[in-house]
């Protein structure tokens, strides 16, 4: 047992870590074999790994926190069933499905706990690179570690945002940059662009490897919740295009465009 935080959520967080590790282990087995790419109703790709990893997570959460609602990407795609509750889990079993399909190692398993519209716990596991990120917002505790083949956790270190300089390093996407994001970037004092897949962009921001990550196109709440918790615990934040804190439990669990940042809140996009 990790029991690493003084937060009352410590035991729960440890349980979420173990669930994410098991889901990631199964996803990695599928990744290293042959798999079929299918299409959901919205034409987005899905694989066996998404579905099997999600089943592991749902089963684990039912045992860990029976009675707490879970919004999971693949289940919601089928049922469109939401919950009117102050406390629920958001699950993205494989964030970066396109990375998974293209055999790029930067796909992640994501689990977050939401309370009163804010993420308070987040776990992100990238099994192909043996990297684990964890955030406990109430305890203001974020950390990263490496995992062994038998899922032991090694080289755990606390992480935190860095102080932004005059010019900023920007996280950008392999797959999802759009004209609005590119136009916004022209407003900013950019030093370097750092490409990464999936929710690892938020993790690297929390780790102090960059200063800002804008994405001015729609996402779903399960795409951002775990990374948002880790970033908050590390001292950063995510705002929407109007400057309001990104919140959860919105209709359809849809996010507007957002800006994630470390020590310095950037200017808002020019309003058209």
Annotated binding-site residues read: 73, 92, 94-97, 223
* CA pair distance 108, 156, nearest whole angstrom: 18
Q: How far is the CA of 78 from the CAs of 42, 75, 253, in angstroms? A: 11, 5, 14
110 closest CA partner among 132, 84, 138, 142: 132
Known binding-site positions for Mg(2+):
73, 92, 94-95, 223
Q: Counting Cβ atoms within 10 Å, is residue 163 exposed (0-12), middle (13-18) or buried (19+)?
A: exposed
Query: Which parts of the chain are beta strand (E)?
Result: 38-39, 45-46, 69-72, 87-95, 108-115, 118-126, 131-136, 141-147, 153-158, 168-173, 190-196, 212-215, 219-220, 237-240, 254-255, 258-261
Q: How many CB atoms lie within 10 A of CB 15?
A: 19
Tokens of 52: 């099997």
Residue with tokens 């290293």: 32
Known binding-site positions for substrate:
73, 94-97, 223
């Amino acid at each position: 047992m990790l029991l690493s935080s003084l937060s009352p959520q410590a035991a729960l967080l440890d349980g979420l870590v173990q669930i994410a590790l098991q889901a990631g282990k199964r996803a990695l087995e599928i990744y290293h074999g042959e798999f079929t790419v299918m299409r959901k109703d919205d034409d987005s790709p899905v694989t066996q790994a998404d579905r099997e990893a999600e089943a592991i997570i749902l089963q684990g959460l039912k045992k860990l926190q029976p009675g707490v609602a879970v919004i999971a990407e693949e289940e919601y795609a089928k049922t469109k069933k939401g919950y009117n509750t102050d406390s629920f889990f958001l699950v993205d079993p494989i964030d970066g499905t396109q990375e998974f399909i293209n055999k790029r190692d930067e796909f992640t398993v994501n689990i977050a706990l939401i309370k009163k519209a804010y993420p308070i716990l987040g776990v992100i596991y990238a099994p192909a690179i043996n990297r684990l990120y964890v955030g406990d917002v109430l305890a203001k505790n974020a950390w990263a570690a490496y995992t062994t083949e038998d899922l032991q956790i090694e080289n755990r270190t606390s992480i935190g945002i860095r102080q932004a300089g005059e010019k900023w390093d920007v996280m950008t996407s392999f797959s999802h940059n759009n004209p609005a994001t590119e136009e916004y970037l022209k407003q900013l004092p950019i030093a370097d662009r750092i490409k990464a897949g999936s929710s690892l962009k938020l993790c690297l921001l929390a780790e102090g490897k960059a200063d800002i990550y804008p994405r001015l196109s729609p996402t779903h709440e399960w795409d951002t919740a775990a990374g948002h918790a880790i970033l908050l615990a590390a001292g950063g934040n995510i705002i929407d295009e109007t400057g309001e804190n990104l919140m959860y439990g919105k209709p359809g669990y849809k996010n507007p465009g957002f800006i994630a940042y470390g020590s310095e809140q950037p200017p808002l996009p020019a309003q058209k």
